[in-house]
Amino acid sequence: MTTRDIDVAGERLTLHPERALYWGAQRTLLVADVHFGKGAVFRRAGIAVPSGDTEDDLQRLDALFAVLQPARLVILGDLVHGAATVRSAWVDNVRAWRARHASIDMTLVAGNHDRHFDVASLGMAVQPGRLAVPPFVLSHHPHPHAEGYVLAGHVHPGVVVRDGWRKHRLPAFVFDRDVGMLPAFGTLTGLHDVANLTGREIFAVTPAGVIPTR
């Protein structure tokens, strides 16, 4: 699968087909909307979904770490999906995974779902609101900010790509003048279709890699 390098706010960023963004100059990996434990929350509510979603997402992060060798991971909100119980195996799995990667600095910019769980108990720093790392402002909500170009999540952006007579609804990276949105990283997350506005750059995440939509 091919990556895509783009320039944003004077910095070179790499869009990865695993729905992650890498800022090479700062050795920083960014993901958004992981939603650890979402399958467990659904199953407690009586919704039949397969188990293993958290383990799959941890393995995907492991693969990104192996290839990119980041010094820092920043999660742009919604690391977890909801409250956990004493029987929530995913919590122990995430703690063990964090311990294996103790050398990597990990920070969560808290999102709306994260209020349901003490993310600091997983061994990660928690930043409420936003995190300024010039020239960027790292946030969960994609609202412009005076301090810099905003990189955010929350929306779970998606786009429809046509392949002849077929249509594919795919996760997407979206970049406007002042705000960029990452696709949701989590396995069980949905998509919100975004409009192809004038001046907006949209990059679809396809099985072959990241491609521009126009």
Looking at residue 100, its pLDDT comes to 96
How much is the pLDDT for 176? Answer: 97
What pLDDT is recorded for position 111? 81
- Predicted pLDDT of residue 82: 54
Q: What is the pLDDT of residue 20?
A: 97
Give me the pLDDT at residue 45, please: 35
> Tokens 């004077």 label which residue?
10
- What is the predicted pLDDT for the residue at 141? 95
List the CATH code of the domain at 4-212. 3.60.21
User: What is the per-residue pLDDT for 118?
Assistant: 80
| Residue 87 confidence (pLDDT) | 54
> Residue 145: in which H helix or E strand, if any?
none
Q: Where are the domains of the chain?
A: 4-212
Q: What is the pLDDT of residue 113?
A: 66
pLDDT value of position 23: 98
Longest dimension (CA), the chain: 50
- Using only C-alpha atoms, the chain has a radius of gyration, in whole angstroms, of 17
The answer to whether 41 and 202 are in contact (CB under 8 A) is no
Going residue by residue through the chain, which has 214 residues, state the pLDDT in tens, using 9 for 90 and above.
Answer: 699 999 999 999 999 999 999 999 999 999 999 988 654 444 343 333 334 468 889 999 999 999 999 999 999 988 885 555 545 677 888 899 999 999 999 999 988 867 777 878 889 999 998 999 999 999 999 999 999 999 999 999 999 988 777 888 899 999 999 999 999 998 767 789 999 888 999 999 998 899 999 7
CA 192 – CA 123 distance, rounded (Å) = 31
